[in-house]
């Protein structure tokens, strides 16, 4: 029934029909093929996938995948290999292009037909079809031939039919008693401080660590300082403690604005403490755990903690479960008036313990800012793409814990509260990954930043064609800011 140029394979219980003559595909439930209905038959016929119903390829419009980038100085096309899909994304590979091939690639604009491309580059239709052949194959998926022009934001030009992204492997030391996440060993072993947030876990603070139009030309640290100023956070009137300072960029920015105020860093990672010290040498650093702060009762004026609490233990708890950490969760549910679990889900025990510690160390009149990804009222979910299990925060419960500890508490959506401009643009995540691979190939390190066309041009030591910039509400080098919330708490003066 199917034309000879249609490949058929199974992936994750679905059947993929892939037409090598047009680069187009159909993904079906296997049962649809046992009883092919007239609408499906009609669709397959329109795609030219049925035997005896070939399409006239010269008149089809050539469309380019949005994923590849061209390195013009080397005549290379870099594209994500459909078959190599790891937890970190597709592997980008280079395809050397002859001058005629590069001319064909550049002439493709989602509007020209095959014969119009041939005219534009001075080749015959057959020669252009020969060029397109390998690009139409399932192991490339660089172009598609279509009867009609695609809408500009057509997602099918962004993606492949490919194996799904694999989940990141978990090591035995990343879960402890009762199945709780445990990242102590992970943090003690960090030895790549200066590049850790480029290569392994990019935070919003790191992605926007360079001055960015989305923050009115400020860095994340500068914009956070201003947002906190709007809350009457400054001057602190006593010591400021940042817990979980990463590479120290925020400590550098905020401590510099605070001038003489004492700014202390607490972190669980000796490697990151050293990186922070190099960036912000005027701020003392202390090795310590957010759940047991090495600080005296009522001794601190301000606590800051940015994108840390998803690293603290989360415990899966269901109705019949028991164990030491499960009991820690249950006793807090009762203490803070939160409902007992109706089914198994994650509870942010470590984040709750940190809030209890904040309540202990804040002096009367003290205040704290604690941000992380998560939601107000949805059950926490694990981020599976990272090389360690981080569990998002249920901020409604976190605020209830803070109130139960006698603190005033408010939850804000981070991007709104900090005044992110949604329309500002950053390099699209797929092209950040492509440029990172292209940079690595020649020993250059490309930091994971929310690049703009201008900042990218200054950071990249080679020319590139095709880089796409998307609104900051879409994925860039770091996580999407709109998925983040902040808990703002204050300890009453009396
Ligand atoms: C995801 S990074 C965030 C870094 C930085 N605040 C930022 O926003 O880019 C988490 C930081 O918290 C630290 N950390 C993780 N678990 C911790 C714990 N239990 N106590 C103290 N610090 C911890 C890590 O070493 C790291 O510096």
- Taken in order 207, 213, 219, 222, is the CA torsion positive or negative? negative
Q: The tokens of 118 are what?
A: 């041939």
Task: For the chain, give percent helix, strand, coil, nearest 5.
Answer: 35, 25, 40
Fold of the CATH domain 172-420+479-490: Rossmann fold (3.40.50)
pTM for this model (two decimals): 0.94
Q: Which residues line ligand 1 (CB under 6 A)?
A: 183, 187, 197, 201, 203, 205-206, 243-246, 250, 266-269, 272, 289-290, 306-308, 311-312
Task: Give the dihedral of Cα atoms 354, 360, 362, 364; nearest 10 deg.
Answer: 150
C-alpha 206 to ligand 1 mean position (Å): 12
Which residues lie below 8 Å from residue 142, measured CB to CB, with a gap of 6+? Answer: 23, 64, 65, 68, 77, 79, 135, 136
Scanning 122-219, the segments in alpha helix (DSSP H) are 125-136, 184-188, 193-199, 204-207
Q: Give residue 161's pLDDT band: very low, low, confident or very high (50, 70, 90).
A: confident
Q: Could you write out the DSSP letters of every residue in 125-148? A: HHHHHHHHHHHHSTTT--EEEESS
Nearest residue (by CA) to ligand 1, atom 12, is: 244
Q: pLDDT tens across 354-405, in order?
A: 999 999 999 999 999 999 999 999 999 998 878 889 999 999 999 999 999 9
Nearest residue (by CA) to ligand 1, atom 4, is: 246
Q: pLDDT tens across 273-295, in order?
A: 999 999 999 999 999 999 999 99
C-alpha 209 to ligand 1 mean position (Å): 16
Cα(388)–Cα(285) distance, integer angstroms: 24
Q: Give residue 173's pLDDT band: very low, low, confident or very high (50, 70, 90).
A: very high
C-alpha 391 to ligand 1 mean position (Å): 14
Q: pLDDT tens across 91-139, in order?
A: 899 999 999 999 999 999 999 999 999 999 999 999 999 999 999 999 9
Nearest residue (by CA) to ligand 1, atom 13, is: 244
Pocket test for ligand 1, best of 311, 383, 448, 485 (most atoms within 8 A of CB): 311
| Spans of all domains in the chain | 1-55, 172-420+479-490
């Amino acid at each position: 029934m199917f034309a000879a140029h249609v490949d058929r394979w199974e992936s994750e219980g679905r059947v993929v029909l892939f037409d090598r003559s047009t680069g187009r595909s159909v993904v079906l439930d296997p049962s649809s093929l046992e009883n092919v209905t007239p609408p499906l038959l009609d669709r397959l016929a329109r795609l030219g996938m049925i035997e005896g119903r070939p399409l006239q390829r010269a008149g089809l419009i050539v469309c380019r995948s949005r994923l590849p980038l061209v390195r013009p100085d080397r005549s290379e096309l870099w594209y994500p290999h459909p078959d190599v899909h790891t937890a970190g994304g597709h592997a980008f590979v280079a395809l050397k292009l002859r001058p005629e091939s590069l001319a064909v690639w550049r002439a493709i604009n989602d509007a020209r037909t095959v014969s119009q491309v041939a005219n534009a580059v001075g080749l015959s239709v057959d020669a252009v079809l020969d060029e397109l052949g390998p690009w139409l194959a399932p192991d490339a998926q660089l172009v598609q031939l279509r009867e009609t022009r695609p809408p500009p934001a057509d997602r099918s030009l962004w993606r492949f039919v490919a194996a799904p992204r694999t989940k990141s492997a978990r090591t035995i030391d990343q879960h402890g008693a009762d199945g709780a996440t445990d990242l102590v060993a992970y943090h003690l072993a960090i030895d790549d401080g200066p590049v850790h947030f480029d290569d392994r876990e990019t935070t919003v603070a790191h992605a926007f660590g360079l001055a960015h139009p989305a923050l009115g030309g400020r860095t994340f640290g500068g914009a956070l300082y201003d947002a906190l100023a709007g809350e009457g956070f400054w001057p602190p009137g006593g010591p400021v403690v940042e817990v979980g300072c990463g590479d120290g960029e925020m400590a550098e920015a905020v401590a510099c604005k605070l001038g003489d105020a004492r700014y202390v860093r607490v972190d669980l990672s000796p490697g990151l403490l050293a990186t922070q010290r190099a960036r912000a040498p005027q701020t003392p650093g202390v090795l310590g755990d957010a759940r047991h702060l090495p600080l005296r009762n009522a001794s601190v004026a301000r606590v800051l903690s940015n994108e840390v609490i998803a690293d603290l233990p989360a415990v899966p708890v269901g109705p019949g479960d028991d164990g030491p950490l499960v009991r820690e969760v249950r006793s807090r549910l009762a203490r803070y008036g939160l409902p007992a679990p109706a089914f198994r889900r994650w509870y942010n025990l470590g984040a709750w313990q940190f809030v209890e510690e904040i309540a202990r160390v804040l002096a009367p009149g003290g205040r704290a800012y604690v941000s992380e990804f998560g939601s107000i009222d949805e059950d926490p979910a694990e981020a599976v793409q990272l090389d360690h299990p981080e569990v998002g925060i249920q901020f409604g419960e976190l605020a209830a814990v803070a109130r139960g500890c006698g603190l005033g508490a408010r939850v804000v959506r981070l991007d709104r509260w900090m005044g992110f401009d949604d329309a500002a643009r950053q390099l699209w995540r797929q092209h950040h990954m492509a440029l990172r691979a292209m940079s690595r190939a020649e020993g250059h390190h490309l930091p994971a930043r929310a690049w703009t066309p201008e900042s990218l041009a200054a950071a990249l030591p080679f020319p590139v064609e095709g880089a796409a910039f998307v609104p900051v509400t879409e994925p860039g080098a770091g996580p999407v800011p709109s998925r983040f919330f902040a808990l703002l708490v204050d300890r009453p003066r009396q």
